[in-house]
Amino acid sequence: MNPVSRRGRRAGEPVGGALPAWVHVPAAAGLLLVLVPLLAIVARVDWPRFGELVTSPSSLAALRLSLLTATASTACCLLLGVPMALVLARGAFPGLRVLRSVVLLPLVLPPVVGGLALLYALGRRGLLAPALELLGVRIAFSTVAVVLAQTFVSLPFLVLSAEGALRTAGQRHERVAATLGARPGRVLTRVTLPLVAPGLASGAVLAFARSLGEFGATLTFAGSLEGVTRTLPLEIYLQRESDPDAAVALALVLVAVSVVVVVGVRGREGRRGP
Amino acid sequence: MSARVSPEVAPSPAAGLEVAVRHDPRGLAVDLAVPPGQVLAVLGPNGAGKSTLLDLLAGLLRPTAGRIALDGRLLTAAGATGREVLVPAHRRGVALLAQDPLLFPHLSVADNVAFGPRSAGAPRREARERAQRWLDAVGAGHLAGRRPRRLSGGQAQRVAIARALATRPRLLLLDEPMAALDVTAAPEVRRVLREVLRGGQHPERPGGVVLVTHDLLDVLALADRVAVLQDGRVAERGDVHEVLTRPRSAFAAGIAGLVLLTGRATADGLRTADGTLVAGVVDDGCPPGEPAVAVLDPAAVAVHAADPGGSPRNRWRVTVTQLEPRGRAVRVRGVRGPLELFADVTVEAAAEARLAPGDEVHFVVKATAVRVHPAG
């Protein structure tokens, strides 16, 4: 027996830390928990009618609305989340830790609760209703409400990614840029943001994916109006009763988009690694 | 300079850098001055406060008290002096070159060097031209189109030098610029720095330079004056030769635990002012006739009571002035005319030769144990 070349181990490669064999059992069980339901969906799809199901007017309207609102909310996340991450990563004032916890709250909050909270802040009888009425703005149960709900739940993903990227990048390049005569604004746009661009991109992709899948907060705050607030997840939930085949087909579309997003992010991280 | 900058005129409008600051949290309290166009080397053990000093000069750290003025313009004032001043880093005209080149990875080499001029408002073309001039000056002109990650360590540091100098700084801070380079790249970068800082052919030379280093060769090649920091205080200061040949602080003595002979380079060594010829290995970039310093390890010097004859090229007749015990060795100090020399010999050898002050002896050292470097 050759003790060196065992199956799956190539000569010349570094030897990793040894894992106890039993660890692979729960690890495999976890993988199955994720994989089996996804395969079940693929198995359940009515392939001959797939094209027809995903291109029905209501499906297309939901798909279009989902892409539109997810893009808009990702833009909102970038506009609001990058400055938040800058303050969290670079700021130095008391209460910063508390502030970070507040920012990350939507991550652990049930989305339905988030939707309710939005409704009681911005709804017709909400906290800010008088001000909104004065401006002649109605938000609840509109497409804007969908974007707000998605931004609410997606923001922590972007802030976390961006803050992590800023901390990893450190401030050494920024200090050098300052000694070269760059004003703070120029340091931010020409040095800081380009340096953390890969982190911002993966944060944006995660936020987009989270927005695309948003269900609870949207339903609570924006309702389910076809073409206005009924996004793909809402459409899937609705069709589940009337036309399960259509629901399954649309679900597969959502799975496919998610896979593309996750692979995109992981691939990017892989390239950045050592 | 932007129009908003109104030069703060200090009570005594002196040229050059004047520093008298305290930073209590880091235990630093120093006063220093760098005359215009001079290079001050700051030596000191780790934790002596060298980096704190540079951060204070660059405006990246607020002092507890004190003032920093550059060419009569007040950059920092704090504490009991009344008015608080802290000119931000980007308006000081103080460029910083660190151990790590810290080039911007997303910009080409040319754009890295043009970054400073562009930040000061120079038009794109003018900034590009200035960048190219400085890249040529540091021998990196051919790298202009490259990305920083495709540069070697020495190349990257030369580009960083060009980037710092392209801002036309009134003060250049060098934070151990050769410490992270390998043995082949360090002399190359040192030579480039010597050319741009001391060559005189660059009209845009920085007004003054503060060089933090651990390396005797940096001091010899680049500095006019030396300050030794110890425990946050200036332990001694003076011109390079004075501090290194008659060190008063333990640190300077340690770093200068070498015999230094100044003079002018020859093809195969050095000639001192009194005409003594020293055979040695001459550095590249040290042309005959130029000021140079011969450096030798006192442990490589043998002491003989009588002329040993034979092949060694360096045989000097020396009058012993002093014997100092140094652990297992004895340091034999001697003079030869105006030259001061010393040799470290074993206790046994010193006892056998019955060395005593006033004796006439011969110091013998092989030419291969002597290195000749360019000097201020």
Share of chain A above pLDDT 70, in %: 93
Residue B375's pLDDT band, with cuts at 50, 70 and 90, is confident
Min CA distance, A164 vs chain B (Å)? Answer: 19
On the question of pLDDT at B84 being above 70, the answer is yes
Please compute the mean of the pLDDT values over residues B23-41 and round it to a whole number: 92
Substitution target in A90, A174, A180 with the highest count of B β-carbons within 10 Å is: A180
How much is the CA Rg of chain A, to the nearest whole Å?
A: 23
Facing residue for A178 by CB, picked from B90, B100, B173: B90
On the question of pLDDT at B307 being above 80, the answer is no
Contact B104 A172 (CB under 8 A): no
pLDDT of residue B357: 87
Q: Quick one: closest CA in A to B88, which residue?
A: A178
Residue A273's pLDDT band, with cuts at 50, 70 and 90, is very low
pLDDT of residue B202: 59
Q: Which residues of B touch A186 (CB under 8 A)?
A: 119
Spatial distance between the Cα atoms of B322 and A225, rounded to a whole number of angstroms: 100
A88-105: pLDDT as tens digits: 999 888 888 899 899 889
| Kind of pairing between the strands at B208-212 and B39-43 | parallel
Residue B293's pLDDT band, with cuts at 50, 70 and 90, is confident
pLDDT of residue A8: 52
Residues 6+ apart with CB under 8 A from B269: B277, B278, B279, B280, B282, B294, B367, B370, B372
Min CA distance, B97 vs chain A (Å)? Answer: 8
Contact A181 B163 (CB under 8 A): no
Residues 6+ apart with CB under 8 A from A138: A124, A132
pLDDT of residue A160: 93
A67-76: pLDDT as tens digits: 999 999 999 9
Spatial distance between the Cα atoms of B20 and B35, rounded to a whole number of angstroms: 15
On the question of pLDDT at A2 being above 50, the answer is no
Q: Using an 8 Å Cβ cutoff, are B276 and B294 in contact?
A: no
Residues 6+ apart with CB under 8 A from B360: B317, B318, B319, B320
Substitution target in B5, B60, B102, B103 with the highest count of A β-carbons within 10 Å is: B102
On the question of pLDDT at B28 being above 50, the answer is yes
Contact A180 B60 (CB under 8 A): no
Of A208, A209, A213, nearest in space to A237 by CA: A213
Please compute the mean of the pLDDT values over residues B63-77 and round it to a whole number: 91
On the question of pLDDT at A271 being above 60, the answer is no
A18-34: pLDDT as tens digits: 889 899 999 999 999 99
Of A133, A197, A78, A175, nearest in space to B57 by CA: A175
How much is the CA Rg of chain B, to the nearest whole Å?
A: 23
| ipTM summary value | 0.78
DSSP state of B9: B
On the question of pLDDT at A6 being above 90, the answer is no
pLDDT of residue B81: 58
Please compute the mean of the pLDDT values over residues B344-354 and round it to a whole number: 83
Residue B203's pLDDT band, with cuts at 50, 70 and 90, is low
Q: What is the mean pLDDT of chain B?
A: 85
Lowest mean pLDDT among A6-15, A242-251, B215-224, B301-310: A6-15
Q: Which residues of B touch A180 (CB under 8 A)?
A: 90, 95, 115-116, 119, 163-164, 167
Q: Quick one: closest CA in A to B95, which residue?
A: A179
pLDDT of residue B200: 61
Residue B312, Cβ density class (10 Å: 0-12 exposed, 13-18 middle, ≥19 buried):
middle
Min CA distance, A261 vs chain B (Å)? Answer: 25
Contact A177 B95 (CB under 8 A): no
Q: Quick one: closest CA in A to B160, which residue?
A: A176
Please compute the mean of the pLDDT values over residues B324-349 and round it to a whole number: 85
β-partners of residue B338 are: none
Q: Which residues of B touch A173 (CB under 8 A)?
A: 102, 104
Contact A178 B89 (CB under 8 A): yes
| Encoded tokens for A64 | 């279009």
| Residue with more model confidence, B308 or B319 | B319
Substitution target in A176, A192, A195 with the highest count of B β-carbons within 10 Å is: A176
Q: How many CA atoms within 13 Å lie on the side-chain side of A128?
A: 13
A181-232: pLDDT as tens digits: 999 999 999 999 999 999 999 899 999 999 999 999 999 999 998 889 999 9
Contact A179 B58 (CB under 8 A): yes
Residues 6+ apart with CB under 8 A from B305: B353, B354, B359, B361, B362
Report how many Cβ contacts below 8 Å link chain A to chain B.
63
Contact A195 B164 (CB under 8 A): no
B42-69: pLDDT as tens digits: 988 888 889 899 999 999 899 999 999 9
Min CA distance, B126 vs chain A (Å)? Answer: 16
Residue B3's pLDDT band, with cuts at 50, 70 and 90, is very low
Torsion angle, alpha carbons of A147, A150, A156, A160, to 10:
-80
pLDDT of residue A274: 36
Spatial distance between the Cα atoms of A169 and B202, rounded to a whole number of angstroms: 35
- CA angle, B40 then B42 then B48, to 5°: 160
Share of chain B above pLDDT 70, in %: 91
pLDDT of residue A67: 92
Please compute the mean of the pLDDT values over residues A40-65 and round it to a whole number: 91
| Residue with more model confidence, B170 or B250 | B170
Q: Which residues of B touch A182 (CB under 8 A)?
A: 90, 115-116, 119
| Residue with more model confidence, B310 or A231 | A231
Residue A77, Cβ density class (10 Å: 0-12 exposed, 13-18 middle, ≥19 buried):
buried
Residue A272's pLDDT band, with cuts at 50, 70 and 90, is very low
Q: Quick one: closest CA in A to B172, which residue?
A: A179
Q: Quick one: closest CA in B to A170, which residue?
A: B102
Task: Give the number of other CB atoms < 10 A from CB of residue A85.
Answer: 25
Facing residue for A181 by CB, picked from B90, B102, B104: B90
On the question of pLDDT at B257 being above 60, the answer is yes
| Residue with more model confidence, B216 or B193 | B193
pLDDT of residue B30: 93
Min CA distance, A233 vs chain B (Å)? Answer: 39
Q: Using an 8 Å Cβ cutoff, are A165 and A200 in contact?
A: yes
Helices (H), chain B: 50-58, 109-119, 124-137, 153-165, 185-198, 216-222, 240-245, 250-255, 347-352
Please compute the mean of the pLDDT values over residues B94-104 and round it to a whole number: 93
pLDDT of residue A115: 93
Instruction: For residue A201, report the phi and psi dihedrals to the nearest 5 degrees.
Output: -65, -45
pLDDT of residue B141: 93
Helices (H), chain A: 24-44, 50-54, 57-90, 96-108, 111-122, 129-135, 143-169, 172-179, 184-187, 193-213, 216-222, 232-242, 244-272
Residue B110's pLDDT band, with cuts at 50, 70 and 90, is very high
Spatial distance between the Cα atoms of A252 and A45, rounded to a whole number of angstroms: 8
Lowest mean pLDDT among A2-16, A189-203, B132-146, B314-328: A2-16
Facing residue for B90 by CB, picked from A172, A183, A195: A183
Min CA distance, A184 vs chain B (Å)? Answer: 8
Please compute the mean of the pLDDT values over residues B111-129 and round it to a whole number: 95
pLDDT of residue A269: 58
On the question of pLDDT at B11 being above 50, the answer is no
On the question of pLDDT at B1 being above 60, the answer is no
Q: Which residues of A touch B60 (CB under 8 A)?
A: 175, 178-179
Q: Note the pTM of the prediction, 2 decimals.
A: 0.76
Please compute the mean of the pLDDT values over residues A121-137 and round it to a whole number: 86
pLDDT of residue A4: 46
Min CA distance, A84 vs chain B (Å)? Answer: 24
On the question of pLDDT at B95 being above 80, the answer is yes
Using an 8 Å CB-CB cutoff, list residues of chain B that contact chain A: 58-60, 88-96, 98, 100, 102, 104-106, 115-116, 119-120, 163-164, 167, 173
Spatial distance between the Cα atoms of B314 and B280, rounded to a whole number of angstroms: 9
Using an 8 Å CB-CB cutoff, list residues of chain A that contact chain B: 172-173, 175-184, 186-187, 190-191, 194-195, 197
pLDDT of residue B323: 86
